[in-house]
Structure 1
Amino acid sequence: MPSTKEVKLELGQRVATISQPRFLDAWVRPCLGAEAGEPGRWEARIVQLDGTGAATVELRADGGPRLFAKLYPDESGLAIFQKLLDLRAAGLGCGERYQAVEPLAFFPEYGMLVTRAAEGVAVSEHIGGDEEALLRGVREAALWLARLHTLPVRFGSPQSLLSSGELLSLARRLVKVVVQRPGHKKLALEMIRALEEVAETTREGLLVQSHGQYRPIHVFVSDERVTVIDLDRSRPCDPARDVAEFVHRLRMGMFWHGGAISRADRPTALFLQTYQEAVGEPSHLANLRFHWARYIFHSLNNKLKGGGEEGPDGQEVEATVEFYRSEFQDVLKGRLLP
């Protein structure tokens, strides 16, 4: 299996090739039709190239629309392209208020998916800013997710509750943290026991077409439509996982931007209420406590992975642990649930 460094090097070579105006004129410009602009005039900006997944490049032809090219390190790109086509055909496409990002082409020779850029502003852009704009964005995000979760389609391999709970990933990260910070062991054991109790109440077999990585940064809202990107991991899965990831990311973002987590309660409640009313199926949130608590535990371990425990860093660690512990307990006690 190639190392991250090797993957980054190989992807970097492909990025350099596809960023050349001559290549873009020959391969990508035909996808744009009348929107193409003048030949030979392109802007290309690397958005992501770290070797941990697909490389992403923002493209723009002179006078044309913004595009994104994703170059995959494996053979998954074609299936993702087809999945986007299928999701749009199933009810998240042209003419709809709620849409999946539009795929324009897939070039197997370069493992490259080309999509149109989503219009509007990401919900994440309003975190720490205009509260009313954030509330509007959160509501639209909940309606988009409800639309996806109620589609009568299934694409991809179903993901079990054990897999969607990412407990093995949590265990790997926890081992690293306890080695670096032995003092974290007592709290970690308490949180594991609490998760065990919640796990006893979970329900198996709740499957909808999920997003797989539903976050405020992936939801774009304009006057005409709501467009969601990064559906690479979309597959049949427990609906509460998408819901938990969104509200967890929302609350973490608001805390790190402003420090007062109470400001996140209103948008959190709005998202959950809007989603629940739109899906009309209480069982969709049956496992919300489990997934949400697990996300909090996972994030805490991630925050604790680096740094020492003395001086200013020690004070920061104490504050971080207290914040995550409070969020964890609030979720388990049901204070944040609809």
Structure 2
Amino acid sequence: MNDRCENLSAVAAPLADRKLPSLAAALHAATVRDRLVEHLPESELDGGAPGIELLKHTPGKRCVIAYDFATRHGRRRVIGKLYRRERGQAIFANMRKLWQAAQCATPRFHLPRPLAYVAEWGMVLQEAAPGIRADYLLHHGTFAQTVAATARNLAALHRLDLDLESRNTLALHLQKYCHPGLEHLMADLPEARRRLAALAAQLLSDGSLAAMKRCPVHGDLGLTQIFHAEDHVSFIDFDGLCRSHAALDLCNFIIVLKTHLGRASDRMIALFLEQYDRLRPLGEIEGVRQYQALIYLRRAMIAWRHRLDRDWRAQALACLTAAEHALDQRRSFSDRHPAKVSFHLFGERA
């Protein structure tokens, strides 16, 4: 693959991005090769420009690019994540801490090795995750193995002794995940204004989580953040890494399973919780009701952002009902056997 942007294969290459001024350079093969030589000297590049694959571009926020190049030891694939301003610097610092903590942890937590931070571009360089992305395995016969390995890797993450500056509360999660704000949903869904306001007020006034134990959390674990290779999975995309409550990751992933598998998800959820419980007791997990409600509110906002869809209102209202039901629950993981945990789903999108 040459250095012409129009030949990039994964998604259409952008002509420019004002908030990502280094994007053009990051897509130019000859320029990229010089940067790789500078920041990855151990690679021993064996001449030639790297192949470039534009994987994902979120205008004004980030861009993910894969670089394939030859070394004296064979082919190598490196992922570059380009961020606006200096955001990548903090993300890289957290990934380095996470990688270092994972090396001496038992059980082992798996993630791609962070390699370098290209300050002049605002780019994080990391190894490519081995294996197959979990969403491609969803209807494969090995998906149960993927779910079990995901539970073990998540429990390993939550067990890590990792000091992070970012320590997010439920209120901060609500602000982040319901961007640009519930008031926009209220304006376009006036029949649910009072219900949305009451639900948000209930979450924000709930001080029960303030003194509860926190741990490192991924913050946005879905199928596209999981790669399955042989007997383990690796997680990617640690933009939301922080110290918070384990229930955030658990509830988010369980609702992802319910969204994709519907009624067929019960067996996978039971397997997921059973495997997690073996490494980190579910009785320690607090805030299940609150974080279920948060995830459903987030999905209501996703429906609003897709409001050109004809059924967005029905989807948003279904998510709101699910959030209300979640807060009405009086039991948590610690009150019942993992296989009996029930998570309500009312047709929201993944």
TM-score, with normalisation over the residues of structure 1? Answer: 0.79
Partner of 1:90 in structure 2?
Answer: 101
Answer 1 or 2: higher relative contact order, Cα 8 Å, separation at least 6: 1
Q: Distance in 2 between matches of 1:210 and 1:233?
A: 8
Map Cα deviations across residues 73-104 of structure 1 (whole Å, 9 max, x no partner): 12232332232222222124899853121112
Q: Which residue of 1 aligns with 2:129?
A: 118
Name the CA shift for 1:306/1:222 in 2 (closer, same or farther; >3 Å): closer
| CA distance, structure 2, for counterparts of residue 155 and residue 203 of structure 1 | 17
Q: Residues 267 and 92 of structure 1: is their aligned pair in 2 closer, same or farther, counting only changes over 3 Å?
A: farther
Root-mean-square deviation (Å):
3.3
**Alignment partner for residue 221 of structure 1, among 221, 228, 250?**
228
Matched, 1:336 2:342: yes
Instruction: Name the counterpart of 1:209.
Output: 216
TM-score by length of 2: 0.77
* 1:47 paired to 2:55: yes
**CA 1:270–1:52: 2 relative to 1, 3 Å:** farther
- Alignment check: 8 A CA contact 2:18 2:60 kept: no
Aligned-residue sequence identity (percent) comes to 18
Q: Which runs of 5+ in 1 are unaligned?
A: 255-260
Higher helix share: 1
**Aligned pairs, number:** 315
In 1, Cα distance between the equivalents of 2:292 and 2:222? 13
Q: How does 1:67-106 map to 2 (within 5 A)?
A: 67-92=78-103, 98-106=109-117
Matches within 5 A, 1:13-32: 13-29=21-37, 31=40
Q: In 2 relative to 1, CA 226–92 (structure 1 residues): closer, same or farther, beyond 3 Å?
A: farther
Stretch of structure 1 that moved more, 45-54 or 238-247: 45-54
Counterpart residue number, 1:257:
none
Equivalent residue runs for 1:125-144 within 5 Å? 125-127=136-138, 129-130=139-140, 132-144=141-153
Task: Output the CA distance in 2 between the equivalents of 1:244 and 1:252.
Answer: 12
After superposition, residues 1-338 of structure 1 pair within 5 angstroms as: 8-11=17-20, 13-29=21-37, 31=40, 33=42, 36=45, 38-62=46-70, 64-92=75-103, 98-127=109-138, 129-130=139-140, 132-164=141-173, 166-167=174-175, 170=178, 173-185=181-193, 187-188=195-196, 191-192=199-200, 199=206, 202=209, 204-223=211-230, 225-254=232-261, 261-280=262-281, 282-283=283-284, 285-307=285-307, 313=310, 317-318=313-314, 321-322=317-318, 325-326=321-322, 329=325, 332-333=328-329, 336=342
Deviations 1:226-262 (A, max 9, x none): 21111132221111112122222232233xxxxxx21
